[in-house]
Structures are given as structure tokens and as C-alpha cells.
Structure 1
Amino acid sequence: MPVELHYENNIAIIRLNRPKARNALNSEMIEKLQEIVSEISELNLRAAIFVGEGKAFCAGADITELLNKTPVEHLHKIQIGQALFQQINELKFPTLASIHSMALGGGLELALACTFRICSPTAGLGLPEIKLGLIPGYGGTQRLPRLIGVSKALEMVVSGKIVSAEEAYNIGLVNQIIEMQDPIASAKEYLDALAIQFPAAIHQIMQAVQSATDLNIHQGLELEAELFVECTQSDDATEGIQAFLEKRSANFSQK
């Protein structure tokens, strides 16, 4: 299968498995990712981890599929990919791209759709579409400036340069650089360090923070207040407050 899914300890592991093509995203992979994301979106998971098989996380879109297409066909293909990555972005639990090597073009756009990104010291990240006379089409021009700022995003997209792990960390493109013998194990360690165990509250945090660039301060504060009230009605909030008052460790139910 070009994309594989399995579950470990309430975490979805999604593996891009087209190593001979450096996991370049073709139509078959996009279709399989749609099925997987739709499946996991119905579950109350702790997190989802995206990894790549072989020498690359994902080298981008499959260039062979760009030839001999009409404008309507190109638009349809782009809209499908955008919708998929937006669905990943809107999942109710955190997502993590564990980048052991190259994440280019659509591969970086997939990572940008995730909540967090970690990479190995030897990873390279970039949006090199300009070198084909194209622009990013799976959300890169929208998510990258929201993450690292307009000036740096323009620099990356206009030049098409591949940034090192160190530069990616310095500009806020990745959350952490980790020595990776196993991208899945490294991803789990990162999630464990974050102590992610409250799916409901995490979802509300993600909603609030991700809306910050789209809403003015008054709208953002209103949303924050609404989401705070939602959290207070959860079983975990009741347990957490009671445990604090009783000076004991909380026993959360993830509800």
C-alpha cells in the first residue's frame, strides 16, 4: 500500500510508503490519505504521527502527473489536495510530522498542515516549486507565512531553497531537532514530553491558537472565552480541579 495506517497506544501511525519515488504524492496516495484521515477523524485518539518510508519523508508531488492536464484538471487536483490537508489541519487531536530526511513541496505542505513538526539534524525542508515555474498549491503559500512570517516565507518560496534543520528550527518551521534512529519512536518521545493526554482540551487549545491569525483581538478573546467554558464542562476538568484541591495526581478519563 502506498500509505499505511496502524495504531499504537491510541496513536495513529500513518506511513507514506512509496520509497522508490521518495514518497512523492501521486493520486493514489492522496486518495488513500483521504480514506485514512476520514477514518481517524471519527476516533478519540491521543495523536496522529506522519512518517515516511525510505530515504525521504516526502519529496513533494509526483511531477509526472502534472503533464498534459487542462486548467480544469489542474484545479480539481489542487482542490482535492487542499481539502485533504485542511482536514488534517482541523483534526480534533494533535498531529505530528516526524521528518527524518527531505520534506519538499507537497511533503512540506503536508507537514505544515500538522500541529507539530520535528526533524532529524540532517533533514532538509523547502518549497522548490519555483524551479519548475510553479508555486506551491497544497497550502504552502498560506500556512508557511502564518508559521514563520511573511518575509521569511517569501524568501523560501521565491528562492525555492532547501533550509537545513538548524535554520528550520531557528525560524520556527520545526518545533525540535531530534536524532532519529526511528522516526516513530522519536515522535512518541516528543509527544510524551508534551504530556498530551487531554483530547478535549487539546482540541480547544488548537482551535483558539490557530484562529489567532484570522480573528481580530476582540473576536479571538470571545472565542477563547467560549472554549474555556466548554472545557469546564468536561469530566477531565472536574477531575483535574478536584485532584489539585486534594493534592493528588489526577486520574483523567480523556472525556
Structure 2
Amino acid sequence: MSTVTWEKQNEHVAVLTLNRPEAANAFSKQLIADFHKALNDIEEDESIRALIITGEGDKAFCAGADLKERRSMTQDEVVKTVQSIGDLVSRVGHLKVPTIAAINGAAFGGGLELTLACDIRIASDHAKMGLTETSLAIIPGAGGTQRLAKLIGLAKAKYYILTAKRMTSDEAKHIGLIEDHVSNDELLNEAVELANSIASNGPIGVQAAKQAIDAGCEQDLATGLQIERHHYMKTIPTEDRLEALEAFGEKRKPQFKGK
């Protein structure tokens, strides 16, 4: 059985599931390889407009690196494995479709770093999360020091990373790490509802907006406005833009085709 599975919830929304519940869905070499294979398939399916990433079971989203596997590695192998996790997380961050992390349980280390590469994060009420690497005498190595600081601010990121502090869903929402938390029974439905609301919008516009935000967020305002204009211009010649105008005039819901 694959350590990563995926399926379509409907025509435009897919759910990818980390499937090693016996190992807290940790990043083994096999899971990383299976994750890439799943992303290959997802990227080939042009009907997908939003992707939900979650974990199997109700205990863990992803506990990070598989420390049991890592104990037998040489230093060089550890470096390569950390790089492979970082590459995977970055690939998720660069997906053209919006991504939603549905954090169904513990998300520590690389597991939380995976969620940070997603566009939106929601969690179950009982989820715990944190970048706890300094408690293992290392640091986050898959983008955590950078993405967390950009998301919640420099001082808060230092507080959580340097202390290796674990946080509840309430605390994560309070600091802006997640957008909301719900019961575990409601989590997937909440994520699908959110994904559906994204997928109902013009896919070219949604993707262009995501690209503009990501490319411009670290630039000065003048540069950011140029980036925004560049991506706005992608939407002008599309059939979807004309369909939206026609639908508005006819007082109906637009039927977007991603063209």
C-alpha cells in the first residue's frame, strides 16, 4: 500500500493523504517518493482547482522526519534526507493550484513545515503543532525558519523556534498560524467546503492571484504593484473573464472552464 494516497472529492477538488498512521505519518524515504508520485498525477489532472493535504487517522498530521529511520543514517545521508524533505515542501509551495492543509492531529518539525508551504491552514480542535527541532539539537531544515517568520512575524517565530514550544489549535489561531479549528469529525468537510469556494472562482484568476501574492509579498510596494499588473494582464484575454461578465449581465452563476 502506498504511504501517500489521493482521490478527488468532486470534479475540481482533490485530497492527498499521508498514510503512515502507525508511524505518525512521518517523512520516511518511501513517503517522500510516494508524495512526489502523487503530485505528478495531481499536476497532470488539469481539472483540479484546489488541493487538500491531510493525514490518515486522528492522532497525527505528520510528526516530521522519521527519527527511527534517521538513527541508522550517516551524516551525509541525513543531509540528503533533510534536503529531500525541503525539496518536497518547496514543491508543494510552488503548486499552481491553491493548497489547504487540514491538520488532523500532531504537526511537528517537518510536518508543520509542510503546512507552512500550503496557502491556507485549518486544524482539528485537538491538534498540537510546533517547530521543535532545537529540542533535538538541530534547527528547522525544510523552510521553517523562513516561512514561519514571514507568516507570524520575526519575534513570534523566534519565540516558538528557540523554545521548541508546542502550541494548541487555539494558540495557533491566535497568532495567525491557522485560520480556524473545528472538531476532527468536521475537519475534512470544512476543508472541502473551503476548497469548493476557491474552485468555484475563475481558476486562471485564482492561480494568478496566488502567484502575484507569493511573488510580491517580499518586494517594495512599487515592485509589488508591477508584479500584480503582470499577473492581472494574464486574465484579460481569457474566455473565463468574458463568461463572468456575461453571467453577471444574465444574473446567473458563471461556468468557468479555465480558458
Q: Which residue of 2 aligns with 1:83?
A: 87
Task: Name the SS of the counterpart of 2:232 in structure 1.
Answer: helix
Partner of 2:167: 163
8 Å Cα contact 1:92-1:199 kept in structure 2: no
**Which residue is equivalent to 1:5?**
6
Are 1:22 and 2:31 an aligned pair?
A: no
1:32 to 17, 34, 39: 34
Unaligned runs of 5+ residues in structure 1 are none
Shift of 1:71: 4.0
- Tell me the C-alpha RMSD between the 2 structures: 1.7
Which of residues 70, 77, 82 is equivalent to 1:73?
77
Q: Which residue of 2 aligns with 1:200?
A: 204
Q: Hey, what does 2:66 align to over in structure 1? A: 62
Name the SS for the 2:216 alignment partner.
coil
Runs of 4+ off more than 4 Å? 193-196
Q: Is the 8 A contact 1:197 1:254 kept in 2?
A: no
- Which segment drifts farther, 208-217 or 222-231? 208-217
Q: Which ranges of structure 2 fall in alignment gaps of 5 or more residues?
A: none
Q: 2:141 aligns with which of 133, 137, 141?
A: 137
| Alpha-carbon distance in structure 2 between the residues aligned to 1:213 and 1:226 | 15
Counterpart of 1:47 in structure 2 is 50
Output the TM-score relative to the length of structure 2. Answer: 0.92
Amino-acid identity (%): 37
Q: What's the CA shift string for 1:34-56, capped at 9, x where partnerless?
A: 11112212332121111111221
1:181 is aligned to 185
3-state SS, counterpart of residue 41 of structure 1: helix
1:78-100, Cα deviation, whole Å (9 max, x unpaired): 22211111111111111111112
Q: Report the TM-score when normalising by structure 1.
A: 0.93
2:178 and 2:200 map into 1 onto residues whose CA distance is: 18
